[in-house]
């Protein structure tokens, strides 16, 4: 999987999705994950059905998910990041404790302090909104995105 994800590294969102490029969008991390995993959910915000999209009306269902909480909350085996590094690829989410809406099932809300990536081969592939491109981050970096209050979550890939 890391070989496939490596093809995204260094690319801005406009090169990943030529039909919806909102550089100021805070969820470009989810937009990247949506495209990288070709992930779409019925009823979810897709890059093809939001304001500013260049998709035509007939193609409104062809886009991919662009919201962190919608992607993460739809996945199975959600939980806190394990003490032992996962062996299999998975989804990684950095957020803050107050964004957990249900700590028992690890559901998250739409607090802006959330960031999503794909973990594989010891690294988390994610879209850096500050660098405006896909990067590879260490787990240690991801664990501190929001300072000491950051919590790291994982979920199985779709």
Between 43 and 12, the more confident residue is 12
Q: How far apart are CA 29 and CA 33, in angstroms?
A: 6
Q: How far apart are CA 21 and CA 23, in angstroms?
A: 6
Say whether pLDDT at 99 is over 90.
Answer: yes
Q: Average pLDDT in the 144-151 region?
A: 92
Calculate what percentage of the chain has a pLDDT beyond 90: 60
3-class state of residue 124 by DSSP: strand
* Domain 2-156, CATH class in plain words: alpha beta
List, as own/partner pairs, every contact residues 53-59 make where C-beta atoms lie below 8 angstroms and the sequence separation is at least 24, other chains included: 53/19, 53/20, 54/18, 54/19, 54/20, 55/19, 55/20
CB-CB neighbours of 115 under 10 Å: 24
3-class state of residue 100 by DSSP: strand
């Amino acid at each position: 999987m890391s070989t496939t994800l490596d093809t995204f590294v260094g690319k801005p969102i406009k090169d990943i999705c030529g039909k919806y490029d909102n550089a100021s969008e805070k969820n470009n991390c989810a937009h990247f994950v949506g495209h990288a995993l070709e992930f779409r959910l019925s009823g979810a915000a897709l890059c093809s059905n939001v304001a500013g999209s260049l998709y035509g009306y007939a193609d409104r269902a062809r886009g991919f998910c662009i919201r962190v909480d919608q992607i993460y909350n739809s996945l199975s085996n959600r939980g806190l990041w394990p003490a032992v590094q996962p062996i299999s690829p998975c989804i990684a989410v950095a957020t803050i404790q107050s964004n957990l809406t249900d700590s028992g099932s690890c559901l998250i809300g739409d607090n802006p302090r959330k960031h999503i990536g794909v973990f594989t081969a010891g690294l988390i592939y994610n879209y850096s909104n500050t660098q405006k491109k896909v990067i590879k981050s260490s787990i240690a970096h991801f664990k501190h995105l929001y300072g000491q209050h950051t919590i790291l979550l994982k979920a199985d890939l779709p």
